[in-house]
Structure 1
Amino acid sequence: MKKSNFVFLIATSFFLSLVFTSCGDKENKKTDTQANSPSIHTLIFIDKTASVDVQKPFVAQKYQQALTSIIEQNFRKAGDTFEIYYIHENTSKARTLSLSCRTEMEDTEGVNATDLEAIKTNYDLSIRKERNFVIKQALNRLQTQNDNASNLETNITASIPVIARLTEMPGDTKVYYLSDMVESVKNGRDFQIRPPKDDAQAEEWAQADAEKLKNYTLNNPEISMILPFEPTSSTKENNPTVTHYWQKLFETLGVMTVTEN
Protein backbone atom coordinates (compact mmCIF):
# COMPACT_ATOMS: atom_id res chain seq x y z
CA MET A 1 0.00 0.00 0.00
CA LYS A 2 1.33 3.43 -0.84
CA LYS A 3 2.26 5.65 2.09
CA SER A 4 -0.15 8.37 0.93
CA ASN A 5 -3.08 5.91 0.88
CA PHE A 6 -2.12 4.59 4.31
CA VAL A 7 -2.03 8.10 5.76
CA PHE A 8 -5.39 8.87 4.13
CA LEU A 9 -6.99 5.76 5.69
CA ILE A 10 -5.59 6.59 9.13
CA ALA A 11 -6.83 10.18 8.88
CA THR A 12 -10.28 9.04 7.69
CA SER A 13 -10.61 6.50 10.51
CA PHE A 14 -9.58 9.10 13.06
CA PHE A 15 -12.11 11.60 11.68
CA LEU A 16 -14.96 9.06 11.73
CA SER A 17 -14.12 8.03 15.28
CA LEU A 18 -14.35 11.67 16.34
CA VAL A 19 -17.72 12.03 14.59
CA PHE A 20 -19.20 8.94 16.21
CA THR A 21 -17.80 9.87 19.62
CA SER A 22 -19.22 13.36 19.27
CA CYS A 23 -22.65 12.00 18.30
CA GLY A 24 -22.61 9.60 21.22
CA ASP A 25 -21.60 12.36 23.63
CA LYS A 26 -24.42 14.59 22.33
CA GLU A 27 -27.01 11.82 22.82
CA ASN A 28 -25.71 11.10 26.34
CA LYS A 29 -25.79 14.79 27.24
CA LYS A 30 -29.32 15.04 25.82
CA THR A 31 -30.46 12.09 27.94
CA ASP A 32 -28.80 13.55 31.05
CA THR A 33 -30.38 16.97 30.43
CA GLN A 34 -33.85 15.49 29.99
CA ALA A 35 -33.56 13.35 33.11
CA ASN A 36 -32.50 16.29 35.29
CA SER A 37 -34.75 19.01 33.86
CA PRO A 38 -38.06 20.19 35.43
CA SER A 39 -41.16 18.15 34.65
CA ILE A 40 -43.26 19.30 31.70
CA HIS A 41 -47.05 19.29 32.05
CA THR A 42 -48.63 19.27 28.59
CA LEU A 43 -52.26 20.34 28.23
CA ILE A 44 -53.97 20.07 24.85
CA PHE A 45 -57.42 21.37 23.94
CA ILE A 46 -58.87 19.86 20.78
CA ASP A 47 -61.82 21.65 19.20
CA LYS A 48 -64.76 19.26 18.81
CA THR A 49 -67.33 21.74 17.53
CA ALA A 50 -69.05 22.16 14.17
CA SER A 51 -66.66 24.88 12.98
CA VAL A 52 -63.54 22.67 12.98
CA ASP A 53 -63.45 19.63 10.68
CA VAL A 54 -60.48 17.45 11.62
CA GLN A 55 -61.33 15.14 8.70
CA LYS A 56 -60.23 17.75 6.15
CA PRO A 57 -56.86 16.63 4.73
CA PHE A 58 -55.01 19.87 5.56
CA VAL A 59 -56.37 20.02 9.12
CA ALA A 60 -55.82 16.31 9.73
CA GLN A 61 -52.20 16.46 8.56
CA LYS A 62 -51.40 19.66 10.46
CA TYR A 63 -52.89 18.43 13.72
CA GLN A 64 -51.42 14.94 13.46
CA GLN A 65 -47.97 16.41 12.92
CA ALA A 66 -48.49 18.90 15.75
CA LEU A 67 -49.53 16.23 18.25
CA THR A 68 -46.63 13.96 17.31
CA SER A 69 -44.12 16.80 17.59
CA ILE A 70 -45.50 18.00 20.94
CA ILE A 71 -45.27 14.52 22.46
CA GLU A 72 -41.76 13.96 21.08
CA GLN A 73 -40.58 17.21 22.68
CA ASN A 74 -42.48 17.21 25.99
CA PHE A 75 -42.84 13.57 27.07
CA ARG A 76 -39.28 12.78 28.17
CA LYS A 77 -39.03 11.46 31.72
CA ALA A 78 -40.83 10.34 34.87
CA GLY A 79 -42.97 13.19 36.16
CA ASP A 80 -43.95 14.55 32.74
CA THR A 81 -47.73 14.57 32.28
CA PHE A 82 -49.99 14.75 29.24
CA GLU A 83 -53.70 15.68 29.20
CA ILE A 84 -56.26 16.25 26.46
CA TYR A 85 -59.54 18.10 26.84
CA TYR A 86 -62.18 18.57 24.19
CA ILE A 87 -63.41 22.07 23.44
CA HIS A 88 -67.19 22.21 23.16
CA GLU A 89 -70.16 23.33 25.25
CA ASN A 90 -68.75 21.77 28.45
CA THR A 91 -65.00 22.18 28.00
CA SER A 92 -63.99 22.22 31.67
CA LYS A 93 -65.49 18.73 32.19
CA ALA A 94 -64.27 17.26 28.90
CA ARG A 95 -60.98 15.63 29.87
CA THR A 96 -60.54 12.62 27.61
CA LEU A 97 -56.92 11.59 28.27
CA SER A 98 -54.56 11.84 31.23
CA LEU A 99 -51.18 10.06 31.24
CA SER A 100 -47.98 10.33 33.24
CA CYS A 101 -44.52 9.25 32.15
CA ARG A 102 -43.14 6.45 34.34
CA THR A 103 -39.69 5.85 32.88
CA GLU A 104 -36.95 6.69 35.37
CA MET A 105 -33.21 6.83 34.87
CA GLU A 106 -31.35 4.25 36.94
CA ASP A 107 -28.73 5.45 39.39
CA THR A 108 -25.51 5.80 37.39
CA GLU A 109 -23.17 6.78 40.20
CA GLY A 110 -20.00 4.70 40.12
CA VAL A 111 -20.95 2.56 37.10
CA ASN A 112 -18.44 1.87 34.34
CA ALA A 113 -18.72 3.24 30.82
CA THR A 114 -20.20 0.05 29.35
CA ASP A 115 -22.93 -0.23 32.00
CA LEU A 116 -23.63 3.50 31.71
CA GLU A 117 -24.22 3.15 27.97
CA ALA A 118 -26.55 0.19 28.57
CA ILE A 119 -28.53 2.12 31.21
CA LYS A 120 -29.00 5.08 28.89
CA THR A 121 -29.96 2.85 25.96
CA ASN A 122 -32.61 1.10 28.05
CA TYR A 123 -33.84 4.47 29.26
CA ASP A 124 -34.20 5.80 25.72
CA LEU A 125 -35.98 2.61 24.55
CA SER A 126 -38.44 2.79 27.44
CA ILE A 127 -39.18 6.47 26.75
CA ARG A 128 -39.73 5.68 23.07
CA LYS A 129 -42.21 2.95 23.96
CA GLU A 130 -44.16 5.31 26.22
CA ARG A 131 -44.13 8.08 23.63
CA ASN A 132 -45.47 5.78 20.94
CA PHE A 133 -48.34 4.78 23.22
CA VAL A 134 -49.18 8.42 23.99
CA ILE A 135 -49.05 9.35 20.30
CA LYS A 136 -51.44 6.51 19.44
CA GLN A 137 -53.90 7.58 22.15
CA ALA A 138 -53.68 11.26 21.21
CA LEU A 139 -54.31 10.60 17.51
CA ASN A 140 -57.27 8.44 18.46
CA ARG A 141 -58.75 11.38 20.42
CA LEU A 142 -58.09 13.72 17.51
CA GLN A 143 -60.01 11.52 15.08
CA THR A 144 -63.01 10.98 17.37
CA GLN A 145 -66.15 12.64 16.03
CA ASN A 146 -68.49 14.66 18.22
CA ASP A 147 -72.03 14.28 16.90
CA ASN A 148 -73.69 15.38 20.15
CA ALA A 149 -75.44 18.69 20.74
CA SER A 150 -72.36 19.87 22.66
CA ASN A 151 -70.72 20.65 19.31
CA LEU A 152 -73.00 23.66 18.85
CA GLU A 153 -71.13 25.83 21.37
CA THR A 154 -67.41 26.61 21.62
CA ASN A 155 -66.52 27.49 25.20
CA ILE A 156 -62.81 28.27 25.10
CA THR A 157 -62.97 30.53 28.15
CA ALA A 158 -63.82 27.47 30.26
CA SER A 159 -60.26 26.25 29.63
CA ILE A 160 -58.85 28.98 31.89
CA PRO A 161 -59.70 27.24 35.21
CA VAL A 162 -58.23 24.00 33.83
CA ILE A 163 -54.95 25.75 33.04
CA ALA A 164 -54.91 27.45 36.45
CA ARG A 165 -55.21 24.10 38.26
CA LEU A 166 -52.40 22.56 36.23
CA THR A 167 -49.99 25.46 36.77
CA GLU A 168 -50.19 24.85 40.52
CA MET A 169 -48.04 21.74 39.99
CA PRO A 170 -44.23 22.02 40.17
CA GLY A 171 -42.63 22.13 36.75
CA ASP A 172 -43.31 23.81 33.40
CA THR A 173 -46.79 23.97 31.87
CA LYS A 174 -47.28 24.04 28.11
CA VAL A 175 -50.76 24.57 26.67
CA TYR A 176 -51.82 23.95 23.07
CA TYR A 177 -55.14 24.85 21.45
CA LEU A 178 -55.98 22.87 18.32
CA SER A 179 -58.85 25.18 17.48
CA ASP A 180 -60.03 28.04 15.30
CA MET A 181 -60.35 30.01 18.61
CA VAL A 182 -63.84 31.20 17.64
CA GLU A 183 -65.63 31.50 20.96
CA SER A 184 -69.34 30.88 20.51
CA VAL A 185 -71.34 30.78 23.75
CA LYS A 186 -75.01 31.69 24.21
CA ASN A 187 -74.38 33.54 27.46
CA GLY A 188 -71.00 34.99 26.54
CA ARG A 189 -68.93 36.05 23.55
CA ASP A 190 -70.06 34.77 20.17
CA PHE A 191 -67.39 35.51 17.60
CA GLN A 192 -69.35 33.72 14.90
CA ILE A 193 -72.07 36.36 15.13
CA ARG A 194 -70.01 39.30 16.36
CA PRO A 195 -66.22 39.14 16.25
CA PRO A 196 -64.13 42.15 17.38
CA LYS A 197 -64.26 44.80 14.65
CA ASP A 198 -60.58 45.72 15.11
CA ASP A 199 -57.59 45.23 17.41
CA ALA A 200 -58.68 48.07 19.69
CA GLN A 201 -62.04 46.45 20.36
CA ALA A 202 -60.36 43.06 20.78
CA GLU A 203 -58.13 44.55 23.49
CA GLU A 204 -61.08 46.28 25.16
CA TRP A 205 -63.05 43.03 25.33
CA ALA A 206 -60.00 41.10 26.52
CA GLN A 207 -59.45 43.53 29.38
CA ALA A 208 -63.12 43.32 30.41
CA ASP A 209 -63.19 39.52 30.28
CA ALA A 210 -59.86 39.19 32.11
CA GLU A 211 -61.37 41.13 34.99
CA LYS A 212 -64.04 38.42 35.34
CA LEU A 213 -61.32 35.76 35.42
CA LYS A 214 -58.92 37.51 37.81
CA ASN A 215 -59.45 34.87 40.53
CA TYR A 216 -57.65 32.31 38.36
CA THR A 217 -53.89 32.48 38.70
CA LEU A 218 -51.99 31.41 35.62
CA ASN A 219 -48.40 30.81 36.70
CA ASN A 220 -46.91 31.73 33.34
CA PRO A 221 -47.60 28.68 31.14
CA GLU A 222 -46.52 28.70 27.51
CA ILE A 223 -49.59 28.90 25.26
CA SER A 224 -49.76 28.01 21.57
CA MET A 225 -52.76 28.44 19.30
CA ILE A 226 -52.53 25.98 16.41
CA LEU A 227 -55.13 27.15 13.91
CA PRO A 228 -56.81 24.91 11.29
CA PHE A 229 -56.54 27.45 8.48
CA GLU A 230 -54.63 27.07 5.24
CA PRO A 231 -52.17 29.85 4.31
CA THR A 232 -54.56 31.04 1.58
CA SER A 233 -57.51 31.48 3.98
CA SER A 234 -59.27 34.84 3.84
CA THR A 235 -59.43 37.18 6.83
CA LYS A 236 -63.15 36.44 6.99
CA GLU A 237 -62.33 32.80 7.76
CA ASN A 238 -59.12 33.38 9.71
CA ASN A 239 -59.98 36.62 11.48
CA PRO A 240 -56.82 38.14 13.03
CA THR A 241 -58.83 40.21 15.51
CA VAL A 242 -60.08 36.98 17.13
CA THR A 243 -56.59 35.63 17.82
CA HIS A 244 -55.53 39.13 18.93
CA TYR A 245 -58.30 39.00 21.53
CA TRP A 246 -56.93 35.73 22.95
CA GLN A 247 -53.35 36.95 22.94
CA LYS A 248 -54.33 40.02 24.95
CA LEU A 249 -56.60 38.02 27.28
CA PHE A 250 -53.83 35.56 28.12
CA GLU A 251 -51.26 38.34 28.50
CA THR A 252 -53.57 40.24 30.85
CA LEU A 253 -53.92 37.08 32.94
CA GLY A 254 -50.13 36.92 33.30
CA VAL A 255 -49.04 34.69 30.42
CA MET A 256 -45.74 35.87 28.95
CA THR A 257 -45.50 33.50 25.96
CA VAL A 258 -48.45 33.26 23.54
CA THR A 259 -47.78 32.05 20.01
CA GLU A 260 -49.92 31.45 16.94
CA ASN A 261 -49.23 28.72 14.38
Structure 2
Amino acid sequence: MKHTLIGCFFLTLLFACSERGDKTKTSNDGPVYTLIFLDKTRSVNVNKSFIAQKYQKVLTDIIEQNIRQKGDKLDVYFIHENTSKARALSLTVRSEMEDVSAASPTDREAAETEFNLMLTREKAQIRQRVFQQLVAQNTGSSNQETDIWASLPVIAKANETGATVKVYYLSDMIESVKGPARRDFQVKPPKDNAQADEWAKADAEQLKRYTIGSPDISMILPFEPNASIKENNPAVTQYWQTLFSALGAGAVTED
Protein backbone atom coordinates (compact mmCIF):
# COMPACT_ATOMS: atom_id res chain seq x y z
CA MET A 1 0.00 0.00 0.00
CA LYS A 2 2.84 2.33 0.91
CA HIS A 3 4.56 1.74 -2.43
CA THR A 4 1.28 2.33 -4.26
CA LEU A 5 0.82 5.70 -2.52
CA ILE A 6 4.39 6.72 -3.32
CA GLY A 7 3.89 5.72 -6.97
CA CYS A 8 0.68 7.73 -7.18
CA PHE A 9 2.45 10.73 -5.63
CA PHE A 10 5.23 10.66 -8.21
CA LEU A 11 2.77 10.17 -11.08
CA THR A 12 0.74 13.15 -9.86
CA LEU A 13 3.89 15.24 -9.53
CA LEU A 14 5.05 14.22 -13.00
CA PHE A 15 1.67 15.13 -14.51
CA ALA A 16 1.66 18.49 -12.76
CA CYS A 17 5.16 19.30 -13.99
CA SER A 18 4.22 18.24 -17.51
CA GLU A 19 1.12 20.41 -17.38
CA ARG A 20 3.16 23.41 -16.23
CA GLY A 21 5.65 22.73 -18.99
CA ASP A 22 2.87 22.70 -21.59
CA LYS A 23 1.54 26.02 -20.32
CA THR A 24 4.99 27.55 -20.48
CA LYS A 25 5.40 26.27 -24.01
CA THR A 26 2.07 27.78 -25.06
CA SER A 27 3.00 31.21 -23.70
CA ASN A 28 6.25 31.08 -25.69
CA ASP A 29 4.69 30.12 -29.01
CA GLY A 30 5.74 32.22 -31.98
CA PRO A 31 3.89 35.33 -33.13
CA VAL A 32 0.47 35.29 -34.78
CA TYR A 33 -0.12 37.40 -37.90
CA THR A 34 -3.81 38.26 -38.18
CA LEU A 35 -5.20 39.46 -41.51
CA ILE A 36 -8.73 40.90 -41.50
CA PHE A 37 -10.39 41.69 -44.83
CA LEU A 38 -13.41 43.99 -44.49
CA ASP A 39 -15.83 44.12 -47.42
CA LYS A 40 -16.28 47.77 -48.45
CA THR A 41 -18.42 47.24 -51.53
CA ARG A 42 -22.03 48.19 -52.07
CA SER A 43 -23.29 44.64 -51.39
CA VAL A 44 -22.37 44.69 -47.67
CA ASN A 45 -23.99 47.28 -45.41
CA VAL A 46 -22.40 47.30 -41.94
CA ASN A 47 -25.00 49.81 -40.78
CA LYS A 48 -27.57 47.01 -40.62
CA SER A 49 -27.92 46.03 -36.97
CA PHE A 50 -27.52 42.27 -37.56
CA ILE A 51 -24.29 42.73 -39.52
CA ALA A 52 -22.90 45.34 -37.12
CA GLN A 53 -23.52 43.17 -34.06
CA LYS A 54 -22.19 40.01 -35.68
CA TYR A 55 -19.04 41.65 -37.00
CA GLN A 56 -18.31 43.54 -33.77
CA LYS A 57 -18.53 40.30 -31.79
CA VAL A 58 -16.36 38.44 -34.30
CA LEU A 59 -13.69 41.16 -34.26
CA THR A 60 -13.71 41.23 -30.45
CA ASP A 61 -13.18 37.45 -30.38
CA ILE A 62 -10.40 37.60 -32.98
CA ILE A 63 -8.49 40.21 -30.99
CA GLU A 64 -8.99 38.32 -27.72
CA GLN A 65 -7.71 35.05 -29.22
CA ASN A 66 -4.85 36.28 -31.40
CA ILE A 67 -3.38 39.22 -29.48
CA ARG A 68 -1.33 37.44 -26.79
CA GLN A 69 2.24 38.70 -26.70
CA LYS A 70 4.82 41.10 -28.06
CA GLY A 71 5.29 40.69 -31.79
CA ASP A 72 1.76 39.57 -32.63
CA LYS A 73 0.62 41.54 -35.68
CA LEU A 74 -2.78 42.59 -37.00
CA ASP A 75 -3.50 44.13 -40.41
CA VAL A 76 -6.86 45.30 -41.74
CA TYR A 77 -7.48 45.50 -45.49
CA PHE A 78 -10.54 46.73 -47.32
CA ILE A 79 -12.07 44.48 -49.96
CA HIS A 80 -13.02 46.41 -53.08
CA GLU A 81 -11.64 46.77 -56.61
CA ASN A 82 -8.09 47.42 -55.34
CA THR A 83 -7.90 45.07 -52.34
CA SER A 84 -4.17 44.34 -52.40
CA LYS A 85 -3.32 48.04 -51.96
CA ALA A 86 -6.12 48.83 -49.50
CA ARG A 87 -4.39 48.34 -46.16
CA ALA A 88 -6.30 50.44 -43.65
CA LEU A 89 -4.55 49.47 -40.42
CA SER A 90 -1.32 47.77 -39.33
CA LEU A 91 -0.58 47.16 -35.65
CA THR A 92 2.10 45.21 -33.77
CA VAL A 93 1.73 44.28 -30.10
CA ARG A 94 4.19 46.06 -27.80
CA SER A 95 3.23 44.60 -24.41
CA GLU A 96 6.05 42.36 -23.20
CA MET A 97 6.30 39.87 -20.36
CA GLU A 98 9.57 40.35 -18.48
CA ASP A 99 11.88 37.40 -17.92
CA VAL A 100 10.79 35.74 -14.67
CA SER A 101 12.80 32.52 -14.99
CA ALA A 102 14.88 33.39 -11.92
CA ALA A 103 12.21 35.33 -10.03
CA SER A 104 10.50 34.35 -6.81
CA PRO A 105 6.87 33.18 -6.97
CA THR A 106 5.74 36.56 -5.62
CA ASP A 107 7.74 38.54 -8.19
CA ARG A 108 6.59 36.21 -10.94
CA GLU A 109 2.95 36.75 -10.03
CA ALA A 110 3.44 40.53 -9.92
CA ALA A 111 5.10 40.48 -13.35
CA GLU A 112 2.28 38.40 -14.83
CA THR A 113 -0.32 40.75 -13.37
CA GLU A 114 1.45 43.79 -14.80
CA PHE A 115 1.77 42.14 -18.22
CA ASN A 116 -1.92 41.16 -18.28
CA LEU A 117 -2.92 44.73 -17.43
CA MET A 118 -0.76 46.15 -20.22
CA LEU A 119 -2.06 43.59 -22.71
CA THR A 120 -5.69 44.26 -21.74
CA ARG A 121 -5.18 47.99 -22.33
CA GLU A 122 -3.50 47.35 -25.66
CA LYS A 123 -6.29 45.00 -26.77
CA ALA A 124 -8.86 47.68 -25.97
CA GLN A 125 -6.96 50.22 -28.09
CA ILE A 126 -6.66 47.74 -30.97
CA ARG A 127 -10.35 46.88 -30.76
CA GLN A 128 -11.32 50.55 -30.90
CA ARG A 129 -9.19 51.17 -33.98
CA VAL A 130 -10.47 48.06 -35.78
CA PHE A 131 -14.08 49.08 -35.04
CA GLN A 132 -13.36 52.47 -36.61
CA GLN A 133 -12.34 50.69 -39.81
CA LEU A 134 -15.41 48.46 -39.66
CA VAL A 135 -17.79 51.44 -39.84
CA ALA A 136 -15.71 53.48 -42.30
CA GLN A 137 -17.72 54.19 -45.44
CA ASN A 138 -16.46 53.68 -48.98
CA THR A 139 -18.48 55.95 -51.25
CA GLY A 140 -15.94 56.01 -54.07
CA SER A 141 -16.10 54.14 -57.35
CA SER A 142 -13.98 51.33 -55.90
CA ASN A 143 -17.12 49.94 -54.21
CA GLN A 144 -18.39 48.68 -57.57
CA GLU A 145 -16.14 45.61 -57.74
CA THR A 146 -15.17 42.93 -55.24
CA ASP A 147 -11.67 41.57 -55.84
CA ILE A 148 -11.10 38.80 -53.29
CA TRP A 149 -8.44 37.15 -55.46
CA ALA A 150 -6.29 40.22 -54.74
CA SER A 151 -6.11 39.20 -51.08
CA LEU A 152 -3.91 36.23 -52.04
CA PRO A 153 -0.65 38.20 -52.56
CA VAL A 154 -1.31 39.87 -49.19
CA ILE A 155 -1.56 36.45 -47.52
CA ALA A 156 1.54 35.26 -49.39
CA LYS A 157 3.53 38.22 -48.07
CA ALA A 158 2.37 37.52 -44.51
CA ASN A 159 3.43 33.90 -44.97
CA GLU A 160 6.99 35.06 -45.70
CA THR A 161 7.33 36.36 -42.13
CA GLY A 162 7.29 32.85 -40.68
CA ALA A 163 4.50 33.75 -38.24
CA THR A 164 1.34 31.72 -37.79
CA VAL A 165 -1.06 33.38 -40.24
CA LYS A 166 -4.79 33.58 -39.55
CA VAL A 167 -7.09 35.11 -42.15
CA TYR A 168 -10.61 36.45 -41.69
CA TYR A 169 -12.95 37.60 -44.45
CA LEU A 170 -15.87 39.69 -43.21
CA SER A 171 -17.59 39.60 -46.57
CA ASP A 172 -20.38 38.08 -48.63
CA MET A 173 -17.57 36.52 -50.74
CA ILE A 174 -19.28 37.58 -53.98
CA GLU A 175 -16.26 37.91 -56.26
CA SER A 176 -17.23 40.45 -58.88
CA VAL A 177 -14.51 41.55 -61.29
CA LYS A 178 -15.09 42.26 -64.95
CA GLY A 179 -12.70 41.11 -67.64
CA PRO A 180 -11.36 37.93 -69.19
CA ALA A 181 -10.24 35.08 -66.92
CA ARG A 182 -12.05 36.64 -63.94
CA ARG A 183 -15.18 35.70 -62.01
CA ASP A 184 -18.25 37.88 -61.61
CA PHE A 185 -20.60 36.05 -59.26
CA GLN A 186 -23.09 38.91 -59.39
CA VAL A 187 -23.60 38.20 -63.09
CA LYS A 188 -22.84 34.49 -63.18
CA PRO A 189 -22.53 32.60 -59.88
CA PRO A 190 -21.78 28.86 -59.82
CA LYS A 191 -25.05 26.96 -60.29
CA ASP A 192 -24.18 24.16 -57.85
CA ASN A 193 -21.33 22.70 -55.78
CA ALA A 194 -20.03 20.63 -58.69
CA GLN A 195 -19.59 23.70 -60.88
CA ALA A 196 -18.10 25.62 -57.94
CA ASP A 197 -15.49 22.90 -57.47
CA GLU A 198 -14.74 22.83 -61.21
CA TRP A 199 -14.23 26.59 -61.39
CA ALA A 200 -12.15 26.71 -58.19
CA LYS A 201 -9.77 23.98 -59.34
CA ALA A 202 -9.31 25.69 -62.71
CA ASP A 203 -8.68 29.07 -61.08
CA ALA A 204 -6.26 27.54 -58.57
CA GLU A 205 -3.91 26.66 -61.43
CA GLN A 206 -3.30 30.33 -62.26
CA LEU A 207 -3.34 31.46 -58.61
CA LYS A 208 -0.76 28.96 -57.35
CA ARG A 209 1.89 31.56 -58.10
CA TYR A 210 0.93 32.99 -54.68
CA THR A 211 2.52 30.88 -51.97
CA ILE A 212 0.04 31.41 -49.13
CA GLY A 213 1.39 28.65 -46.89
CA SER A 214 -1.17 26.89 -44.71
CA PRO A 215 -3.12 29.65 -42.93
CA ASP A 216 -6.40 29.09 -41.14
CA ILE A 217 -9.06 30.94 -43.13
CA SER A 218 -12.48 32.00 -41.82
CA MET A 219 -15.31 33.44 -43.93
CA ILE A 220 -17.74 35.40 -41.76
CA LEU A 221 -20.78 36.02 -43.91
CA PRO A 222 -23.19 38.95 -43.40
CA PHE A 223 -26.35 36.91 -43.96
CA GLU A 224 -29.12 36.40 -41.44
CA PRO A 225 -30.10 32.79 -40.62
CA ASN A 226 -33.30 33.06 -42.67
CA ALA A 227 -31.57 34.45 -45.78
CA SER A 228 -32.71 32.90 -49.06
CA ILE A 229 -30.46 30.62 -51.10
CA LYS A 230 -30.48 33.28 -53.81
CA GLU A 231 -28.97 35.77 -51.34
CA ASN A 232 -26.68 33.33 -49.54
CA ASN A 233 -25.69 30.96 -52.34
CA PRO A 234 -23.93 27.94 -50.77
CA ALA A 235 -22.17 27.22 -54.07
CA VAL A 236 -20.26 30.50 -53.71
CA THR A 237 -18.75 29.52 -50.37
CA GLN A 238 -18.11 26.04 -51.77
CA TYR A 239 -16.02 27.72 -54.48
CA TRP A 240 -13.86 29.46 -51.87
CA GLN A 241 -13.58 26.34 -49.71
CA THR A 242 -12.21 24.43 -52.70
CA LEU A 243 -9.99 27.26 -53.96
CA PHE A 244 -8.34 27.99 -50.60
CA SER A 245 -7.81 24.28 -49.94
CA ALA A 246 -6.27 23.80 -53.39
CA LEU A 247 -3.84 26.64 -52.64
CA GLY A 248 -2.68 24.93 -49.43
CA ALA A 249 -4.78 26.55 -46.69
CA GLY A 250 -5.20 24.67 -43.43
CA ALA A 251 -8.67 24.85 -41.89
CA VAL A 252 -11.23 26.74 -44.01
CA THR A 253 -14.42 27.59 -42.14
CA GLU A 254 -17.52 29.71 -42.67
CA ASP A 255 -19.91 31.34 -40.25
Give me the TM-score of the superposition, normalised by structure 2: 0.89
Superposition map of 1:222-233 within 5 A: 222-233=216-227
Task: Judge which range, 237-246 or 199-208, deviates more.
Answer: 199-208
Q: Which amino acid aligns with 1:165?
A: K
> What is the root-mean-square deviation in Å for CA atoms of aligned residues?
1.4
SS in 1 for 2:112: helix
Q: CA deviation at 1:256?
A: 2.4
Label 1:72 to 1:31 Cα distance change in 2 as closer, same or farther (>3 A).
Answer: farther
The one of 199, 207, 210 equivalent to 1:205 is 199
The residue correspondences of 1:93-172 to structure 2 (distance < 5 A) are 93-172=85-164
Q: AA paired with 2:183? A: R
Q: Highest Rg: 1 or 2? A: 1
Gaps (5+ residues) in structure 2? 1-19
Query: Could you tell me which residue of structure 2 aligns to residue 72 of structure 1?
Result: 64
Find 1:237's aligned residue among 213, 231, 234.
Answer: 231
Structure 2 partner of 1:4: none
Alignment of 1:253 onto 2:242: no
Aligned length: 234
Matched residue SS, 1:189: coil
- Aligned 8 A contact 1:34 1:77 in 2: no
The answer to whether residue 213 in structure 2 is matched with residue 219 in structure 1 is yes
Quick one: distance in 2 between partners of 1:148 and 1:30? 50
Q: Which amino acid aligns with 1:237?
A: E
Determine if the alignment matches structure 1 residue 38 to structure 2 residue 34.
Answer: no
Amino acid in structure 2 at the alignment position of 1:43:
L
Q: Secondary structure at the residue paired with 2:157?
A: helix
CA distance in 2, matches of 1:60, 1:109: 44
**CA offset at residue 35 of structure 1?**
3.2
Instruction: Provide closer, same or farther for how the CA distance between residues 30 and 78 of structure 1 changes in structure 2, counting only shifts above 3 A.
Output: farther
Question: Residue 33 of structure 1: CA displacement?
Answer: 5.1
Map of 1:9 onto structure 2: none
CA deviations over 1:16-68 (Å, ceiling 9, x no partner) = xxxxxxxxxxxx99984553012110000000000000000000000000001
Separation in structure 2 between the aligned mates of residue 166 and residue 243 of structure 1, nearest angstrom: 23
Q: With the length of structure 1 as denominator, give the TM-score of the two structures.
A: 0.87
Q: Moved runs in structure 1, 4+ residues, more than 4 A?
A: 28-34
Q: 2:167 is matched with which residue?
A: 175
Letter in 1 for 2:140: N
Whether 1:61 and 2:69 are equivalent positions in the alignment is no
1:171 deviates by: 2.2
Name the counterpart of 2:79. Answer: 87
- What do the CA deviations read for 1:176-232 (whole angstroms, capped 9, x no partner)? 000000001112211011100111111111011111111111210000000000000
SS of alignment partner, residue 192 of structure 1: coil
Q: Which moved more, 1:54-63 or 1:105-114?
A: 105-114
For 1:142-166, what per-residue CA distance to the aligned partner results, in whole angstroms no more than 9, with x for missing partners?
0001100000000011001110110
CA distance in 2 between partners of 1:43 and 1:171 (Å) = 12
The answer on whether the counterparts of 1:161 and 1:216 sit within 8 Å (CA) in structure 2 is: yes
> Structure 2 CA distance, aligned partners of 1:230 and 1:249?
25
Deviations along 1:65-86, one digit per CA (max 9) or x if unpaired, are 0001100000010110000000
Distance 2:26 2:73 in 1: 14
